[in-house]
Amino acid sequence: MEKHHKFSIWYVIMAIWGILLIHNLMISAFAIETIPYSRFLRLVQEQRITEVSITENQIQGRMVPEGGVDGRSVPFRTVRVDPEISKLLDEHDVTFKGEIESTWLRDILSWVLPVALFVGIWLYMIKRIQGQQQGFMTLGKNKAKIYVEDEVGVTFEDAAGVDEAKQELVEVIDFLKKPERFTSIGGKMPRGILLVGPPGTGKTLLAKAVAGESGVPFFSMSGSEFVEMFVGMGAARVRDLFNQAKQKAPCIIFIDELDALGKARGFGGMGGHDEREQTLNQLLVEMDGFDAQVGVILMAATNRPEILDPALMRPGRFDRQVLVDRPDKNGREAILKVHLKNVHLDDDIDVEKVAAMTPGMVGADLANLVNEAALLAVRRDRRKVRMEDFEEAVERVVAGLEKKNRLINPEEKKIVAYHEVGHALVAMALPGTDPVQKITIIPRGIAALGYTMQVPTEDRFLMRKTELLNKIATLLGGRAAEAIVFDDISTGAHNDLSKATDIARSMVTQYGMSEAIGQVYHAADQRSQFLYPGMERHGEYSQGTAELIDQEVREIINRQYEVARDILQARRELLERSTQRLLEQETIAGEELKAIAEEIRRNR
């Protein structure tokens, strides 16, 4: 077989150096004769030197050779020697000569360094040009990160609090490990599995866990990485991704943030020529074309399934949707135990209590909570994390950073104290409300001048009408306390009014809890918030119905405000004493508030 030798520029450089070296040696060897200095002195005495050129270390000139005729002379050179030494040596018949220090290495380096610098710059420029050409030629290649079994490093043990989702995905693992169990009876694995859920619930972690459990290659790519500024590049990347996956089958393709690629087509007036829509069309074609029995499983994750194109959701494509919802109390407890494995904990840590303090938090929130607690322990020069660190971390995450250095004048501080105690007393008086754990008038976050912390005793998935009304009354308790005590109101209730109005409007438009409106759903389509400007869809009801909705919302707010006022007026003594205690201590616990109420009741 013929061998092909790779050409190298260094061959040319070495050849040039050799030629230059030989040239210098030939010139020095044949052009000028080098003679000893003693001979030079004798030639001078014999008058055979015709001319000389004297430098500091060398003498060059012309001499008449032995037997020379017709005045012919030849060039010579010799090393200059100190005349006194030469005279002494000549008197004793010593043959002496001078030698020129060898400078061949210096001469070569004087050639090598400039040439090497020039060649280096030239090679660097060639490499840059080739890299740009290669980058342009690989625009159609996919940018997926390929993880083999050893690189995934994630199993179902790392994904806690999502037991139902893991059960759905166990079938995928069984199919990748033993596909004959399904194919032997004619069964087919779903071609696409869509993980749906709020941000931070662990959708990407679950996909990696499936790959880690099954031990197959894992192709990971974001939906936004498909679309480029060049037309057709996204579709080319989709084709290349599926081609590579088929070569490495069985494997898993995971597309994160699918909504960046699979948004419903036809919005914005761009037609079918939009680059994103071409990429989506190619994805639909590839999902129809590959055989499920090959062993390629397509998984994707999104937190906005309502905006995905219906063609993606039909059976035969993403025909199985797995909900990765917010964890319940038991799920949060399991997630906390996973994140607490590498944290040094004190003996007073109650994981169940921490889980109860964090309703609505997802896995990412809980991981951040554990990290905040650890940082607080380090800040306080402790080697172990205590329960108080977790309680403070919950408040930091929920309400914001505590700002003890913010200066508030005494009058504003008094208003804030009455406001927060008003929330707490209304919550304590009404059934179905979350227990009050803590009241503080230390500013937190950007605009919170005070904070009333209520911790639910259990997770709730349904709320009755009475509970929603009591929640509105609790939110309005701060405003009612200000009106009772100061006969005036402040701007501190703006966030309370916003939340109360949202609850009341949802009761009227979504939950059918208004007798005047009836059992009718009047909320706007959720998809409308993702449409382009000018294409928004408003609620499909008349102007009269809109006015009636506004009137009902206003009446609900006003009724519950009166409820809050009545409660606080009936407990005016408790309001005053609790507020004075709060102004003195800046923070009081819910149990302390109950103790004050019990003391007042006994004294009566």
What CATH number has the domain bearing residue 180?
3.40.50.300
Of residues 250 and 435, more confidence is placed in: 435
Of the pLDDT bands very low, low, confident and very high (cuts 50, 70, 90), residue 289 is: low
Of residues 124 and 505, more confidence is placed in: 505
E strand or H helix at 392:
helix 387-399
Q: Tokens in use for 36?
A: 């000893």
Asked if 387 and 276 sit in the same domain, the reply is no
Look at residue 136 and tell me if it is in a domain.
no
Report the pLDDT value the prediction gives residue 308, as an integer from 0 to 100: 85
d(CA 493, CA 481): 11
In angstroms, the Cα distances linking 578 to 594, 596, 597 are: 10, 7, 9
Q: Let me know if 274 is exposed, middle or buried by CB neighbors in 10 A (0-12, 13-18, 19+).
A: middle
Residue 532 pLDDT > 50: no
In terms of average pLDDT, the best of 140-144, 160-164, 401-405, 421-425 is 421-425
Asked if 377 and 501 sit in the same domain, the reply is no
Residue 273 pLDDT > 60: no
Q: Tokens in use for 262?
A: 């699979």
Of the pLDDT bands very low, low, confident and very high (cuts 50, 70, 90), residue 2 is: very low
Examine the fold and report which residue of 91, 109, 132 is the final residue of a domain before the chain moves on.
91
In this structure, how many other beta carbons lie within 10 angstroms of the beta carbon of residue 299?
Answer: 29
| 574 contacts 597 by C-beta, under 8 angstroms | yes
d(CA 494, CA 420): 14
Asked if 422 and 494 sit in the same domain, the reply is yes
Asked if 586 and 456 sit in the same domain, the reply is yes
Examine the fold and report which residue of 367, 399, 431 is the final residue of a domain before the chain moves on.
399
Of the pLDDT bands very low, low, confident and very high (cuts 50, 70, 90), residue 479 is: very high
DSSP string covering 16-53: HHHHHHHHHHHIIIIISEE--HHHHHHHHHTT-EEEEE
Report the pLDDT value the prediction gives residue 476, as an integer from 0 to 100: 95
d(CA 510, CA 139): 48
**For 134-138, 382-386, 467-471, which range has the lowest pLDDT when averaged over its residues?**
134-138
Residue 135 pLDDT > 50: no
Q: Under 8 Å CB-to-CB from 454, ≥6 apart: which residues?
A: 427, 433, 434, 435, 436, 437
Q: For 102-131, what is the mean pLDDT?
A: 70
d(CA 363, CA 168): 19
Report the pLDDT value the prediction gives residue 579, as an integer from 0 to 100: 92
- H helices within 510-571, ranges in order? 543-570
CATH number, domain of 492, equals 1.20.58.760
Of residues 7 and 298, more confidence is placed in: 298
> Binding site: residue ranges?
197-204, 419, 423, 496
Asked if 376 and 467 sit in the same domain, the reply is no
| 247 contacts 296 by C-beta, under 8 angstroms | no
**Tokens 């898993």, residue located:** 252
E strands along 189-245, which residues? 192-196, 218-222
**Tokens 């399991």, residue located:** 334
* Helix, strand, coil distribution of the chain in percent, nearest 5: 55, 10, 35
Residue 391 pLDDT > 60: yes
**For 161-175, 258-272, 578-592, which range has the lowest pLDDT when averaged over its residues?**
258-272
Asked if 304 and 423 sit in the same domain, the reply is no
Q: Tokens in use for 267?
A: 């919005």
Asked if 457 and 511 sit in the same domain, the reply is yes
Mean pLDDT of the chain: 78
Of residues 130 and 166, more confidence is placed in: 166
In one letter, which amino acid is 569? Q
Give bridge partners of residue 451 from the DSSP assignment: 440
In angstroms, the Cα distances linking 594 to 115, 232, 522, 597 are: 89, 68, 42, 5
Residue 138 pLDDT > 50: no
Report the pLDDT value the prediction gives residue 271, as an integer from 0 to 100: 44
Look at residue 352 and tell me if it is in a domain.
yes
Q: How many residues does the chain have?
A: 604
> Binding site for Zn(2+): residue ranges?
419, 423, 496
**For 48-62, 160-174, 190-204, 588-602, which range has the lowest pLDDT when averaged over its residues?**
48-62
Of residues 492 and 1, more confidence is placed in: 492
**Tokens 């999502």, residue located:** 162
Q: Under 8 Å CB-to-CB from 560, ≥6 apart: which residues?
A: 469, 472, 473, 476, 500
Quote the longest CA-to-CA distance of the chain. Answer: 150
CATH number, domain of 344, equals 1.10.8.60
Of the pLDDT bands very low, low, confident and very high (cuts 50, 70, 90), residue 86 is: low
The set of catalytic residues is 420
Report the pLDDT value the prediction gives residue 553, as an integer from 0 to 100: 95
Examine the fold and report which residue of 91, 106, 123 is the final residue of a domain before the chain moves on.
91
In angstroms, the Cα distances linking 517 to 509, 510, 526 are: 8, 11, 21
Of the pLDDT bands very low, low, confident and very high (cuts 50, 70, 90), residue 509 is: very high
Report the pLDDT value the prediction gives residue 136, as an integer from 0 to 100: 38
Render pLDDT for 241-266 as a digit per residue (tens, 0 to 9). 888 888 887 788 888 888 888 777 76
Residue 24 pLDDT > 90: no
Of the pLDDT bands very low, low, confident and very high (cuts 50, 70, 90), residue 35 is: confident
In what side-by-side order are the strands of the sheet with 587-589? 451-454, 436-440, 587-589
Domain containing 154 equals 145-323
Asked if 471 and 597 sit in the same domain, the reply is yes
Report the pLDDT value the prediction gives residue 357, as an integer from 0 to 100: 84
Asked if 316 and 346 sit in the same domain, the reply is no
Look at residue 479 and tell me if it is in a domain.
yes
Give bridge partners of residue 444 from the DSSP assignment: 402, 448
Asked if 222 and 273 sit in the same domain, the reply is yes
User: Which is it for strands 218-222 and 145-147: parallel, antiparallel or unpaired?
Assistant: antiparallel
Q: For 199-209, what is the mean pLDDT?
A: 86
Peptide bond preceding 250 in cis form (omega within 30 of 0): yes
Asked if 300 and 418 sit in the same domain, the reply is no
- Compute the radius of gyration of the chain from its Cα atoms: 44
Of the pLDDT bands very low, low, confident and very high (cuts 50, 70, 90), residue 137 is: very low
**Tokens 């405003």, residue located:** 479
Q: For 104-110, what is the mean pLDDT?
A: 65
Q: Please provide residue 247's backbone torsions phi and psi, each rounded to the nearest 5 degrees.
A: -70, -30
Q: Tokens in use for 328?
A: 């319940």
Look at residue 19 and tell me if it is in a domain.
yes
Look at residue 298 and tell me if it is in a domain.
yes
Q: Under 8 Å CB-to-CB from 450, ≥6 apart: which residues?
A: 416, 417, 419, 420, 439, 440, 441, 442, 443
d(CA 355, CA 340): 13
Look at residue 237 and tell me if it is in a domain.
yes
Look at residue 131 and tell me if it is in a domain.
no
d(CA 312, CA 319): 9
Q: For 185-210, what is the mean pLDDT?
A: 84
Asked if 319 and 336 sit in the same domain, the reply is no
Render pLDDT for 215-232 as a digit per residue (tens, 0 to 9). 788 888 887 777 665 556
Helix (H, G, I), strand (E, B) or coil at 77: strand
The number of folded domains in the chain is: 4
Look at residue 100 and tell me if it is in a domain.
no
Of the pLDDT bands very low, low, confident and very high (cuts 50, 70, 90), residue 420 is: very high
Q: What's the whole-model pTM score?
A: 0.65
CA 65 to chain centre: 88
Of the pLDDT bands very low, low, confident and very high (cuts 50, 70, 90), residue 147 is: low
